[in-house]
A and B are shown apart, each in its own frame.
Chain A
Amino acid sequence: MVATSPWVRPRTLAQGLILALAAGLITLLALGLSARAPKAIVGNPAPEFELELFDGGVVRLSALRGNVVVINFWASWCGPCRDEAPILVDAWHAYRDRGVVFIGIDYVDTEPEAHAFMQEFAVDYPNGPDKGQRIARQYQITGVPETFFIDRQGRVAAHYPLPLTRHLLISNIELLLTA
């Protein structure tokens, strides 16, 4: 229809249209991707967050700078978390006086079940619900349990999207303490 004008050659017109369509599409996909672009977590400064604890206090990650921080995402409905909980509690008791802080973040849960879970495993490190899954999104977790190790400078040193073993937990903490 446009080609009736003798000044536009249909060849270039068609090519221009095809190219514009292709470029537009790629831009669109790039936009869509950047909207949910995951940035590398490990090796970068740990995303800052504030967590309201179950017992009423508030924990701010940046306030813990200078400590080794272990952030564990869990939920009461998650099977592997049950295997992991005693390991975490034991390690917390062993390292709490050596500059190591544990933070439990309860991911998509209901409070009574969460409390029952914490009672059952005697979880006594700071713990709170991730309201609106904001922290989970910041850390781009893909499920529970997942654990992040933050070094004394506030960088994410390691990330495990798996239930931890005792050996793994302790060797990571030791590594960061000696670093």
Chain B
Amino acid sequence: MADLGYIAIVLAMASALYAAAACLWGQRRGEPQLVASGRNAVFAAGGLLTLAVLLLVYSFLVHDFQIRYVAENSSRHMPTLYLITSLWGGHAGSLLFWTWILSMFATAVTYLYRDRHPALLPYTSAVLSIAQSFFLILLVFLANPFEKLPFIPGDGLGLNPLLQNLGMAIHPPNLYLGYVGVSVPWAFAMAALLSGKLDAGWIRATRRWTLLAWLFLSLGVTLGGQWAYVELGWGGYWGWDPVENSSFLPWLTGTAFLHSVIVTERRGMLKVWNMLLIILTYNLAIFGAFVTRSGIIDSVHSFTESSIGPAFLAYIALSLIGSLLLLFRRWDQLRGDHQLEAILSKEAAFLLNNLLFLGATFAIFWGNIFPILSEAVRGVKVTVGAPFFNQVSAPIFLAILITMGLGMLIAWRRQTISSLVRSLRGPVSAGIVAAIVLWLMGVRLPPALLGLSTCVFVGAVTVREFYQGTLARHRLTGEPYSVALRKLIARNQPRYGGYIVHLGVILAAAGIIGSQAYQQEAQAVLGPGQAMQIGGYRLVFQGFSELRNENLQLIRANLDVYNDQGRYLGRAEPAKELHFVRPDQPMTEADIFRAIGEPRTLFLEDLYLILVAASPEGTATLRAFINPLVNWIWMGALILIAGTAVAAWPEASEARVRVPRGAPQPAGSPTRF
């Protein structure tokens, strides 16, 4: 089994290398047959990698501990689901999984566009195959997941219990889909540079791929945060850990890219900028993998045993410098069709927004590599902690929020100040009203007040876009409002999908501001029958209960929760968990208390409970947090998914144009964005 798997990887490497060479040469020399055989090699590599992944999964399922990776990452006593997810529980396996995803993207792109973009596609396939070859070379020579042990252990070491939960089963694949997904727009961009077809064709071809990758990156960031929040039991969701940051960086530049391509499509500007952003996004995605795998920055997540750090760095150097040189070659051909005309224009707002995103990227990157920087320059190891990141990102993200609102308001090309003031009047008053209401409700911290009222301002701008559009359609066509709204969105899905995403982001931003500014915390040692108070809740400890199965032992503290009127709300059960395979690692299972009868626990705040310790005498040490608005972050993420789906949904608007329902269609072709 192990040999077969290794052979599959070696053959996949050969196929990918051949695919890259054949597509490049074939296209250069104009030999379609060579290109066609290169394309087949792309499919072959995809098939072989699929085989390798299936073989490894199978080895996990049958406990083939002769394979070192299986022995180090699973044990006989694991549920089937986690046996499968052990595939990406360790180092060599996640590399294989990553490469497999990349090969699937390469196969999909090569297959789906086989008849389109004949000038671009061979180059795209070639670039994707080159990227794939790199990872395959690593797998073959440095991190073989099918490496055999010289003996067969009776049982494996098992998977880290922190990774044995549903979140961790989903999180890595999802993040990899995002990291790897940006390869597609990057490969198209490189293809455009290689072929000299520099019009917006590559942007249009990759729009959905970019959105898809961006969606997965967004999910990766939020799911990672949610996992930390629910599983790690420290009451927070984002610790500015180097690996967390690394997943955030490509998201930032990817978001900037999504916006700057709009300007290119509408006005033929910012072309160099687009290229730079996608190059940066791709390399930051690889950098994310590099940080995780090389242990170059001390992190909770890093796997320091890895010897492939230098290889990764060499690849970053190659792809970064290579992409940049390609870009420089075509620099003059990428001149914009128009000049920026006025500061008060959508173009300028987009540019400013892009600069801010880039600034945030740079600042977080700076904080991330600061220990390396200081060690190299001054010889001392100095870090900057969470305060740095909070201090830097708060003003930048506030500015991004404000430009988000302004960007939606301002017209393309130029806008007069007086008309801007007119359109600002409504949303700004909404923001001011919100600030006053919040002040009266007791929100007095200036940053929170400013941040939340900005959210209301941007929200008002966004809602008004929908409102005005629907109203105009209603007046024009006489459709009922609900139909008008639906058709408004269907007419220009990218634009209104984007606005829905904005709503999600605003909601998440409000959640972040609320939970950062108004977290409450209390700790108490309780005997049976004793109670503690926090934020209008009374918690009465009713003793422990214990649960045992073949895998683990669970000690729960039973807490009756009452509100400040003394009404019983329900039971909370924070717990400690002991996995028998690894008894030296107890785990804290936080409980986030929710009660249907108490709406604030559903919509406004989390009552977050941790069992710190259970004494043999029967007393419990408990820590309780009130985390306001944390839910909004996850709700914002859901809205963001919905918005992205609307923006990327394929045929809806086209289909509607083809089948008119009698209602008069407004003139003009459907605009993208």
- Residues of A participating in the B interface, judged by any CB pair closer than 8 Å: 11, 15, 18-19, 22-23, 26, 28-33, 35-38, 40, 77-79, 140, 142, 161-162, 165, 167-168, 171-172
B439 within 8 A of A: no
Q: Add 14 more A-B contacts to A29-B372, A165-B151 (CB < 8 A).
A: A15-B324, A15-B328, A26-B313, A29-B290, A29-B296, A29-B369, A32-B297, A36-B295, A36-B296, A78-B584, A162-B71, A162-B157, A165-B154, A172-B150
The proximity string for B residues 132-175 relative to A, scoring 1 for CB distances below 8 Å and 0 otherwise, is: 00000000000000000011011001000000000000000000
Enumerate chain A residues within 8 angstroms of B584, measured Cβ to Cβ: 77-79
Interface extent on B, as a size class? 35 or more
B372 and A28 within 8 A (CB): yes
User: Do B296 and A32 touch (CB < 8 A)?
Assistant: yes
Of B315-323, B508-516, B637-645, the one touching chain A: B315-323
Of chain B, the residue at the smallest CB distance from A32 is B372
Residues of B within 8 A of A37 (CB): 309-310
Residues of A within 8 A of B157 (CB): 162
Contact of B369 among A18, A28, A38, A142 (CB under 8 A): A28
Task: Say whether, besides A28-B376, A31-B372, A31-B376, A165 and B313 are in contact (CB < 8 Å).
Answer: no
Instruction: Tally A-B pairs: CB < 8 A.
Output: 76
Query: With A19-B324, A26-B317 as given contacts, are A33 and B375 in contact (CB-CB < 8 Å)?
Result: no
Q: Are A162 and B153 in contact (CB under 8 A)?
A: yes
Closest to A78 in B: B584
The answer to whether A33 touches B294 (Cβ under 8 A) is yes
B150 to A32, Cβ gap below 8 A? no
Whether A11 pairs with B331 at a CB distance below 8 angstroms is yes
The residues of A that contact B328 with a CB separation of less than 8 Å are 15, 19
Would you call B369 and A26 a contact (CB within 8 A)?
A: no
6 closest residue pairs by CB, A with B:
A32-B372, A168-B151, A142-B305, A26-B317, A31-B376, A15-B328
A26 touching B316 in the complex, CB below 8 Å, given contacts A11-B331, A31-B372? yes
Beyond A23-B321, A162-B71, whether A30 also contacts B295 by CB under 8 A is no
B443 at the interface (CB under 8 A from A): no
In the complex, chain B residues 356-415 whose Cβ is within 8 Å of any chain A Cβ: 369, 372-373, 375-376
Among A29, A31, A167, max chain B CB count under 10 A is at A29
B150 touches A162 (CB 8 A): no
* Given A11-B332, A35-B375, A36-B295: A22 in contact with B321 (beta carbons within 8 A): yes
Find out whether the CB atom of B296 lies under 8 angstroms from the CB atom of A40. Answer: no
B621 within 8 A of A: no
Pick from B317, B331, B369: contact of A32, CB under 8 Å: B369
B369 to chain A: closest residue by CB: A28
B276 within 8 A of A: yes
A22 touches B313 (CB 8 A): no
Complex contact B307–A38 (CB within 8 A): yes
What residues of chain A lie closer than 8 Å to B290, measured between beta carbons? Answer: 29
- Chain B residues within CB distance 8 Å of chain A: 71-72, 150-151, 153-154, 157, 276, 290, 294-297, 304-305, 307, 309-310, 313, 316-317, 320-321, 324, 328, 331-332, 369, 372-373, 375-376, 582-584
Q: List 29 A-B contacts (CB under 8 A).
A: A15-B328, A19-B328, A23-B321, A26-B313, A26-B317, A26-B321, A28-B373, A29-B316, A29-B369, A31-B376, A32-B296, A32-B369, A32-B375, A35-B375, A36-B295, A36-B296, A37-B309, A37-B310, A77-B584, A79-B582, A140-B305, A142-B304, A142-B305, A161-B305, A162-B153, A162-B157, A165-B151, A165-B153, A168-B151
Q: Is the CB of A30 within 8 A of B313?
A: yes
Report if A171-B320 is in contact (Cβ < 8 Å); known contacts: A35-B375, A162-B71: no
Of B151, B321, B582, which is within 8 A of A171 by CB?
A: B151
A28 to B370 alpha-carbon distance, docked (Å): 10
B326 to chain A, nearest CB (A): 12
From B310, which residue of chain A is reached at the shortest CB distance? A33
How far, in angstroms, from A40 to B71 measured CA to CA in the complex? 22
Q: Is the CB of A15 within 8 A of B331?
A: yes
Asked if B71 and A168 sit within 8 Å, CB to CB, the answer is: no
CB distance from B55 to the nearest CB of A (A): 22
Task: Point out the residues of chain A lying under 8 angstroms from B71, CB to CB.
Answer: 162
A40 to chain B, nearest CB (A): 7
A22 contact from B151, B324, B375, Cβ within 8 A: B324
Query: Once bound together, how far apart are the Cα atoms of A92 and B309, in whole Å?
Result: 38
Residue on B with the closest CB to A175? Answer: B150
The answer to whether A18 touches B313 (Cβ under 8 A) is no
In the complex, the answer to whether B376 meets A18 with C-beta atoms within 8 Å is: no
Q: In the assembled complex, which residues on chain A have CB atoms less than 8 Å from the CB atom of B304?
A: 142
B297: which A residues are within 8 A, CB to CB? 32
Q: Which residue on chain B has the smallest CB distance to residue A39?
A: B307
Given A33-B310, A79-B584, A142-B304, decide whether A162 and B332 contact each other with a Cβ distance below 8 A: no
Cα A23 to Cα B297 in complex, Å, equals 19
Q: How many whole Å from B37's CB to the nearest CB in chain A?
A: 35
Give min CB distance, A20 to chain B, whole Å. Answer: 11
Bound Cα distance A30, B315 (Å): 12
Given A35-B375, A142-B304, A168-B150: A18 and B324 within 8 A (CB)? yes
Contacts of B320 in A (CB 8 A): 22, 26
Give every chain A residue within 8 A of B276 (Cβ-Cβ): 18
Complex CA distance for A15 and B294, rounded to whole angstroms: 30
**Residue of B at shortest CB range from A22?**
B320
How far apart sit A11 and B334, CA to CA, in the bound complex (Å)? 11
In the complex, what's the smallest C-beta–C-beta distance from B203 to chain A, in angstroms?
21
Contact A29 B331 (CB under 8 A): no
Known: A19-B321, A36-B296. A162 touches B72 (CB 8 A): yes
Q: Point out the residues of chain B lying under 8 angstroms from A18, CB to CB.
A: 276, 324
Q: Kindly list chain A residues whose C-beta atoms are within 8 Å of the C-beta of B151.
A: 165, 167-168, 171
The 8 Å CB contact of B150, one of A15, A22, A30, A171, is A171
